[in-house]
Amino acid sequence: ERERMNRVTKRTWIMGLFLLVLLGGMMFFLWEYVTQAGEWVTFPGSPHVYNNANIGCGTVTDRSGNVLLDITEERTYSSDAATRQSTLHWLGDRKGYISASAVSHYAGKMAGFDLVSGVYDSSGEGGEMTLTLSARVQNAALDAMAGRKGTVGVYNYKTGEVLCALTTPTYDPDNVPDIASDTSGQYDGVYLNRFLQSTYVPGSIFKVVTTAAALDCVPDILDKTFTCYGAYEYGTEKVTCEKAHGTVTLKTALASSCNCAFAQIAELVGKKNMVKYVEQFGVTDSLSFDGVTTAEGNYDISNTAPVSFAWSCIGQHTDLINPARYMTFMGAIAGGGVGAEPYLVSEVRSGEEMTYEAKTKTTGRIMSQDVADQVRAYMRNNVQSVYGDWNFNGMNVCAKSGTSQLGGGQKSNAMFAGFVEDEQYPLAFIVVVENGGYGSATCVPVLSKVLAACKSVLDGE
């Protein structure tokens, strides 16, 4: 009898243990469901949410409510051909060759999944996403680039809203060219979002970094002068300018973009400080927003000779910058040493529900107010004394141009970066025209058209 009771007791314990395991499994599943169900429903392979790795439901509009992409039935782009081209690298194409990662990042928010009712819209049409981009500004930039390769970026350095982030070359997704058979080079790199994924030799726009470093760490820099004879020698090697600039100050060296003066300024700053300030300013860091991460830049002066270090402070050597990140650096200077981080998606609605709303995030302080104010004054002087205020439709523009040497017989890239010093138009920008030649001559006409369009949009015209 005792043996039989022991067997019953043993079986009871086994059954109890089994029930505990079952209960534990059910609790684990319930926990996973509560915390992970949204991800299960909106996983990248979900045909209800994605199409060829791009967003596959809902409607995407620009900041003014213009429909850029409608996927309530099939993938329908804007009725305007220019808009289809200018926004392609943010919306993606039908075959997924161009990945619209920032928009697709919010696909789950568009579907509007919740734990009780599942997807809000059982029709599968999805919600509505509003971008910070302006189709009007994008199209102005596309027109101004006139078929040349590069990127144009403009954002509000107080809020972080990106008004313009054009990549060229591009194409019309409703009239796709035969890219595979093209031998002209017209579509080289067409699948690349240059604003996010490219890095460029900065050329003289990098002198803004060196200027800020010198202002912060060289005590008497404002009292110093530098003499340019057209070349500054390092034994058998040298840094050269296109002409002899004579005696210049830090301010006039920046305005005339004097390489020889900046070689001398580099010696005063020193290698250790340059590395420190490049890191502090974040100009070569990657930047993350809306689920995308930009390419990293480069500033490497390890084991460099003095002449190579000088060129690194001029924006050559092995220097590389990403356009989105450098635009953000310009925004921080404009904001007195603190700017806003950029973002592209303003809000997402699913039915009556607001499922996502962007919030402004700051860069944190990257330089002192005094240094930022001094750099801003110098960049304002560049426009007043060199580039010309008349180019910018009455806007107080502060900027620096760059002509970045590429070597190998290639024509230089044209670069232009800066910001608008205006409470009504708090815009920072970068323009890159690949193989465009001289920075200001090539980029100022582009920027002029783009800023005029920005002004009209912000004025509500």
- Concatenated DSSP letters of 394-411: T--EEEEEEEE---TTPP
- State how far the alpha carbon of 72 is from the alpha carbons of 60, 97, 98, 349, 397, in Å: 10, 21, 20, 14, 42
User: 3-state DSSP: the chain helix, strand, coil percent, rounded to 5?
Assistant: 40, 20, 40
Which tokens sit at 71? 């996927």
Which tokens sit at 327? 């635009």
At residue 195, the 3 state secondary structure works out as helix
- State how far the alpha carbon of 14 is from the alpha carbons of 7, 25, 32, 95, 413, in Å: 11, 16, 27, 56, 75
Give the per-residue pLDDT at 29. Answer: 59
Give the per-residue pLDDT at 113. Answer: 58
Q: Which residue's entry shows tokens 């302006």?
A: 134
Rounded Cα–Cα distance for residues 229 and 459 (Å): 48
| Phi/psi at 367 (5° precision) | -155, 165
Give the per-residue pLDDT at 54. Answer: 52
**118 forms bridges with which residues in the sheet?**
114
List CB contacts of 202: < 8 A, sequence separation 6 or more.
315, 319, 320, 321, 326, 402, 404, 415
Amino acid at 369: Q
Which tokens sit at 76? 């329908």
CA-angle at 450, arms to 208 and 149, nearest 5°: 75
Give the per-residue pLDDT at 411. Answer: 87
Rounded Cα–Cα distance for residues 322 and 330 (Å): 12
Give the per-residue pLDDT at 40. Answer: 47
| β-bridge pairing 128-131 and 59-61 | parallel
| Phi/psi at 81 (5° precision) | -60, -40
Of 302, 226, 235, 230, residue with least CA distance to 262: 226
Q: CB–CB of 115/289 below 8 Å?
A: no
Relative orientation angle of helices 271-281 and 306-313, to the nearest 10 degrees: 30
Rounded Cα–Cα distance for residues 134 and 107 (Å): 21
CB neighbour burial string for 276-315, b if at least 16 within 10 angstroms, e if fewer: ebbeebbbbbebebbebebbebebebeeeeebebbbbbbb
Give the per-residue pLDDT at 31. Answer: 65
- Local structure of residue 369 (DSSP, 8 states): H
Which tokens sit at 348? 């997402």
Give the per-residue pLDDT at 436. Answer: 83
Rounded Cα–Cα distance for residues 126 and 351 (Å): 8
Give the per-residue pLDDT at 207. Answer: 98
From first to last of the 461 residues of the chain, give the pLDDT tens digit: 666 666 656 677 677 777 777 777 777 656 665 555 445 445 455 555 555 455 556 889 999 999 999 987 788 999 999 999 999 999 999 888 898 888 888 877 777 655 555 544 444 556 899 999 999 999 999 999 999 999 999 999 999 999 999 999 999 999 999 898 888 888 999 999 999 999 999 999 999 999 999 999 999 999 999 999 999 999 899 999 989 999 999 999 999 999 999 999 999 999 999 999 999 999 999 999 999 999 999 999 998 999 999 999 999 999 999 999 999 999 999 999 999 999 999 999 887 888 899 999 999 999 999 999 999 999 999 999 999 999 998 899 999 999 888 777 788 899 999 999 999 999 999 999 998 888 789 999 999 999 999 999 999 86
List CB contacts of 445: < 8 A, sequence separation 6 or more.
144, 391
- pTM of the predicted model, to two decimals? 0.87
Which tokens sit at 24? 């534990």
